[in-house]
Amino acid sequence: MSSSIVLSEAENHFFSDVCQFFDHAAQFTRHDAGLLDQIRSCNSVYRFRFPIRKGNGFEVIDAWRIEHSHHQSPTKGGIRYSEMVNEDEVMALAALMTYKCAIVNVPFGGAKGGIKINPKKYSEQELENITRRYTVELIKKNFIGPSIDVPAPDYGTGEREMGWIADTYATMNPGQGDALGCVTGKPIALHGIAGRREATGRGVAIAARECVSVAEDMKKLGLMPGITGKRVIVQGLGNVGFYSAKFLAEYGALIVGICEYEGAIYNEDGLDVNTVFEHRKATGSILGYPL
């Protein structure tokens, strides 16, 4: 019982943690307090519920789309499918999207979406129904559009879901020439961009490579600079984890461990990420991979 209470409290701290970092940084600016409050706050929070048919009955789904900042248009941010998703998490991730875009001068406001489901518990048809209904609800409230709010893949979603979103939006907006621009991360066949699938994982690998290349920082850790020979354990072998591990290995790192939903494997001599991925694809698990 106590562990449940701790989880309940912890799951509602993410946005306040982000705001604490913002407030700390804001001390070093000369901006008006009211302006800082506007930057900190989420501009639009849309929480909704909708029913889907499941088996012989119905199930009510909780969902969110949150636009943190309208200082630039469109807003931009992924949609995640997870049983653990909640409003606080989506608010925090939307805020982080605003700050990430601002830091690198990408002219978007931040946004994020979430549907409280475990995708593993639904058939492909049920997931399509959920995704299309979610899109319809966003359209009804003007929370999606090429110049309004542009979703993307995130945890538990990918090209398939983005394709369903794009198709639903285009169907409900006939004659709109840029309709497919309502979402990124689409399949190539639906005007997606080559390289998008591996982009996030590649970014993780590049960031890690650059971090361990700073001699001053590595000296403090008692390590030699450079990615070559560094031993890496990857948590997750999905779209981000797989490509992160793949590119890290190409850069010279040694992937010694991989953790997934069903368990973990370790080999001090290194793992071939591609063959582990194919093993999981064939068997549904990384367990049983010959070490």
Q: Which CATH number goes with the domain that contains 242?
A: 3.40.50.720
Residue 290 lies in a domain: no
Residue 82 lies in a domain: yes
- Tell whether 46 and 147 lie within a shared domain: yes
Q: Catalytic one among 76, 100, 112, 116? A: 112
CATH of the domain at 101: 3.40.50.10860
* 105 and 147 fall within a common domain: yes
**pLDDT for 175-222, tens place per residue?**
999 999 999 999 999 999 999 999 999 999 999 999 999 999 999 999
- Residue 291 is assigned to a structural domain of this protein: no
Domain span holding position 14: 2-194
148/269 same-domain check: no
Task: Mark whether 110 and 13 lie in a shared domain.
Answer: yes
- In a shared domain, residues 87 and 104: yes
Least confident of 7-21, 98-112, 197-211: 7-21
- Number of independent structural domains in the chain: 2
Q: What pLDDT is attached to residue 11?
A: 55
- Identify whether residues 12 and 90 lie together within a single domain: yes
Q: Which of 207, 289, 196, 197 is nearest to 248 (CA)?
A: 207
Query: Do both 146 and 129 map to the same domain?
Result: yes
Report if residue 225 sits inside a domain: yes
Q: Is residue 289 part of a domain?
A: no
Q: Are residues 95 and 72 located together in one domain of the fold?
A: yes
Same domain, yes or no, for 253 and 265?
Answer: yes
pTM to 2 decimals?
0.86
Distances (CA, A) of 178 to 70, 170, 174: 21, 9, 10
pLDDT, tens only, 244-254: 999 999 999 99
Last residue of a domain, one of 163, 194, 225: 194
Task: Give the residue from 157, 172, 194 where a domain finishes.
Answer: 194
22 located within any domain: yes
Claim to verify: residue 12 and residue 135 sit in the same structural domain: yes
Residues 146 and 237 in one domain: no
Q: How confident is the model at residue 55 (pLDDT cuts 50, 70, 90)?
A: confident
100 among known catalytic residues: no
Residue 35's alpha-carbon distances to 31, 32, 45, 70, in angstroms, are 7, 5, 19, 13
Over residues 137-184, the pLDDT tens digits come to 999 999 999 999 999 999 999 999 999 999 999 999 999 999 999 999
In a domain, 189, yes or no: yes
On the question of pLDDT at 2 being above 80, the answer is no
| Residue finishing a domain among 154, 176, 194 | 194
Q: Is residue 111 part of a domain?
A: yes
User: Looking at the structure, do residues 101 and 245 belong to the same domain, yes or no?
Assistant: no
Section 72-93 average pLDDT: 97
